Amino acid sequence: MPAFDAALVDAAQRSAAWPFEEARKLVARIEKSGKKSVIFETGYGPSGLPHIGTFGEVARTSMVRHAFQVLTGNTIPTRLIAFSDDMDGLRKVPDNVPNKELLANNLGKPLTEVPDPFGTHDSFGRHNNARLCAFLDSFGFDYEFKSSTDAYRAGEFDATLLKMLARYDAVMKIMLPTLREERAATYSPFLPIHPKTRIVMQVPIDEVDVEAGTIAWTDPQTKEHFVSPVTGGHVKLQWKPDWAMRWVALGVDYEMAGKDLIDSVKVSSQIARALDGTPPEGFNYELFLDEQGQKISKSKGNGLTIEDWLTYGPPESLALYMFQRPREAKKLHFDVIPRAVDEYLQFLGGYERQDWKNRLGNPAWHIHAGEPPAPEVIASGEGDNTVRTQVTFGLLMNLVAVANSEDKAVLWGFLQRYAPGMSAETHPRLDALVGYAIAYFRDFVKPAKSYRPADEVERDAFTKLDAALAALPADPTPEMVQDTALDVARAIPRYQNLTAKNATPERPGVSGDWWKAIYQVMFGEDQGPRFGSFAAIYGLPNTRALIAKALAGDLVKEHAAFLAARKG
């Protein structure tokens, strides 16, 4: 990575953006410890399919990592470990997987020893790990994947496991007060893996032999007595001791966690100190909620999956959703996608005009690790008369609606008529956006539309709007169309707003009721794209034809027929 601009580094020292606030904690930690490198970690429990919360941890941690690199002039090496706790025993069958009986017959075994119900990998754990890595790779994250199973079996944790065995009583002293009386009576931080059944056993420990590095335990069903080494993958740890052991063994400096794990972080931090380690820095983010306000869950499969979001929006829009307000609980369902897409485009469009202070507060800088791409705009006109327009997701969805087509070529026909010379090759991100808009409109917008007929005032207003559009040049700019629509509304008492800025009795402002009428009657929604931009791209003849269909009641009839056919 090249050296950072001096003005950038100076602004970074004072930036209030949360990744820089977190990175400054790490700078202080390194100055105190004298470490020559920094390790970031994110954890993943592969008992269910990867979900957006998992991706959020990696995205947010990557943002802190990049902020740290800027603050330190990239002089301190960093690593990001994406750790999968795939040696955990499968506790229950997830709701959203096939072949549930296959999993039910293997409950209790390490996830990497449970057959894959999808039939693509040698185990359920490996399947879910692959799903996680495939997405992280597609987004371009710089990370190292680490499997708990592989680390345990390779002896990577052996030294720390032996230390935990030696500090057994200290660890128990930390853990027991956090447990219910019944669980405390049989609790052990070590979970032996049954040498015959391969079940991860939750059993009391009969004997701890620190010198031999073993634990003795009894199978409660067969009464057989076993002695298991704590090294080499013969046992795994309960998750709070395991978390602490991992921090110490890997030297983790930073790991964030959900708000529901605040107490767990405290307990694991105590255990890490008992192992002569220093707990990592980090912060607790709020949880994602589904449409009903319930916490999203891998096993329940509620909320959105990674694949769901990427069906309807680009990865950058998902990263923006992760960046914004991480300490606030947010609902995560399909309705948030269009807004996230358009907000991302807005931030990207404004980046070049900002100074370093504001750039470092712009999510686009963090999403793209300091190198946001130039926004893709479409340009019409020539020379000083060139008009550049950034096409929004909302505008595209309305274009899909009125074009009555799910063919990308048809949509590109409208865009190219407005801006000749552009194509999917010259504007690949816009081409992808067209595809997202078609998918989202088809699955969510069109079924929810609610067209209504125009009342008498609106019929007169739309008739005048049609006449005014007919008087414009063949290829007007978006501003010309917008101003024309405003001038039509100014003369109609219902839409006049005398309290608007710079409004006068001779030239009143225009109320939002004018645009709402257009959206409800012509688009079947309460809000929509900027009318001038839409009409300029859709074309005046097509826009006037749309007005005619609205006034004739055809839009209401066509949508009623669509809903009836959809019901079967």
Instruction: Please state the residue numbers annotated as binding site for ATP.
Output: 298
Write out the DSSP string of 310-365: HHHS-HHHHHHHHHS-TTS-EE-STTHHHHHHHHHHHHHHHHTTS-HHHHTTSHHH
Residue ranges at the known binding site:
298
List Cβ neighbours of 300 (8 Å cut-off, separation of 6 or more).
Answer: 94, 95, 96
State the Cα–Cα distance between residues 488 and 510, nearest whole angstrom: 10
**Chain Cα centroid distance, residue 138:** 14
Closest CA to 250 of 142, 143, 146: 146
Instruction: Tell how many helices (H) and how many strands (E) occur in the chain.
Output: 26, 16
State the Cα–Cα distance between residues 306 and 324, nearest whole angstrom: 18
CA distances from 361 to 16, 353, 356 (A): 7, 13, 9
490: which strand partners?
A: none
Closest CA to 528 of 439, 400, 434, 387: 400
Decide if 391 contacts 430 (C-beta within 8 A). yes
Residue ranges of E strands in 266-322 = 284-285, 288-289
Decide if 103 contacts 46 (C-beta within 8 A). no
Question: Looking at this protein, which amino acid is placed at residue 126?
Answer: R
> Angle CA(368)–CA(374)–CA(379) in degrees, nearest 5?
150
State the Cα–Cα distance between residues 88 and 125, nearest whole angstrom: 9
State the Cα–Cα distance between residues 114 and 198, nearest whole angstrom: 10
Half-sphere exposure of 270 (CA within 13 A, CB side): 15
**Six token digits for residue 275:** 């192992």
State the Cα–Cα distance between residues 55 and 48, nearest whole angstrom: 14
